[in-house]
Structure formats: C-alpha cells, structure tokens
C-alpha cells in the first residue's frame, strides 16, 4: 500500500490563504502541462483520503469541476456525520474519523494499493504516522506571506530522495520525492 501526496504550494510554503482560499492558483488553471501531470498521477490512484476543509473547498467548485470521478474518496474528519456530501459524489464518498493507520489498513483490506492523501492537516497527520511514501509538490511562483502551511511540526526529520523535477512554461515547478527514511 502506498500513500502519496500531490499538492501545490507557494514558494513560501503555503497551500492556501489564511481563510482557506486557493484563488492564487486561478492564474495557473490553463497550464495544460501541469494538468496532464495531475491526470497521469490520478490514473495510478485507486482511493483518496482528504481532510474535511479540503473536501468542502473541492465540492464548492461544483460538479463540473469535481476532479475525482468515481475514485473512492474518504473524508477524514473528527465529525463524520456533519459532512455534507453532494449527490453527484455520494456513491463514492464516505466519511471517517479513524486514525491514519486504521484508515489505511481498511483501504488495504478493500484491495486498494495507491492512496492519494490531500489537505494540509491531513498530509501532516499521515506524514507523522508514516503513511506517506511519495510526495509530488508543485511550487507555484507566488508569495503569500501568510496562510495555511503544507508542513507543520514533526517529531523527527524525514529524509527525502529526489525522483525527478519538471519545470513548466507557467513558472510552476513540480518535484517528486520518495520518503527514504525517518531520521
């Protein structure tokens, strides 16, 4: 079972503004190269785990912009019953408050082999518990100065092995890392 992150981050390390907005990405929506990289990544994914705030943001864009199709998605939240799941994705979305380890074990028992983990706090929690093996991070040429950071406090250092880096005409740079070991 592999857990992977594929996420955009500003050059100064933020995935969203303090209020959760990702409007700074709007200027890069037409970057076909980076869009193709995400679509390629998604072809290898057979389940998604994302945090409640990230899920709420994704579904706020509407059905036409929902990027996950029929891929099973778990909203990871302390309050599963409070999540409002739109009709267009009700068949593939479930909500859970299990620990990262329990959740990944459940997905593995269902035959899942590659889980896409998304959302700031979710990525941080899954990273701390060793549930992330690969990270694909796209640096967006924007400085926010403040916001929601991709990484938070870790109890240990994590050594990363560089797999590849790809620069796009838009100025975005995507780097793929494999988590080599916990130090």
Which class for 82: exposed (0-12), middle (13-18), buried (19 or more C-beta within 10 A)? exposed
Per-residue pLDDT at 27 exceeds 80: yes
Is residue 35 pLDDT above 90, yes or no? no
**Contact of 174 with 28, CB cutoff 8 Å:** no
pLDDT band at 182 (very low <50, low <70, confident <90, very high): low
**pLDDT at 183 exceeding the cut of 60:** no
Once rounded to an integer, what is the mean pLDDT over residues 135-149?
97
pLDDT at position 145 over 60: yes
Class of domain 2-170: alpha beta
Choose the weakest-confidence range: 34-43, 96-105, 140-149, 162-171: 34-43
- Indicate whether 180 pLDDT > 90: no
Residue 153: the pLDDT is 84
- Under 8 Å CB-to-CB from 28, ≥6 apart: which residues? 34, 140, 170, 172
Instruction: Give every CB contact of residue 94 below 8 A, 6+ residues apart in sequence.
Output: 72, 73, 74, 75
Q: What 8-state DSSP symbol labels residue 147?
A: S
How large a percentage of the chain has pLDDT more than 70? Answer: 98
Q: What is the pLDDT of residue 156?
A: 82
Q: Is the pLDDT reported for residue 165 higher than 70? A: yes
DSSP string, 72-101: -EEEE-S-GGG----GGGTTTEEEE---HH
pLDDT (0 to 100) of residue 101? 97
On the CB side of 56, how many CA atoms lie within 13 Å of its CA?
A: 12
DSSP assignment letter at 63: G
On whether the pTM is more than 0.85, the answer is yes
């Amino acid at each position: 079972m592999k857990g992977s992150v594929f996420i955009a981050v500003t050059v100064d390390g933020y995935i969203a503004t303090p209020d959760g907005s990702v409007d700074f990405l709007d200027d890069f929506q037409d970057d076909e190269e980076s869009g193709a990289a995400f679509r390629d990544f998604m072809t290898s994914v057979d389940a998604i785990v994302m945090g409640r705030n990230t899920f709420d943001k994704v579904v706020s864009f509407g059905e036409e912009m929902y990027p996950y199709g029929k891929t099973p998605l778990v909203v990871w939240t302390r309050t599963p019953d409070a999540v409002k799941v739109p009709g267009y994705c009700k068949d593939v979305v479930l909500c859970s408050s299990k620990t990262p380890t329990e959740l990944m074990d459940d997905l593995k028992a269902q035959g899942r082999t590659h889980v896409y983990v998304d959302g700031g706090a979710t990525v941080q929690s899954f990273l701390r518990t060793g549930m992330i093996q690969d990270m694909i991070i796209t640096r967006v040429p924007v400085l926010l100065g403040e916001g929601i950071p991709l990484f938070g406090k870790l109890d240990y250092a994590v050594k990363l092995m560089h797999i590849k880096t790809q620069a796009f005409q838009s100025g975005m740079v995507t780097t793929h890392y494999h988590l080599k070991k916990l130090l």
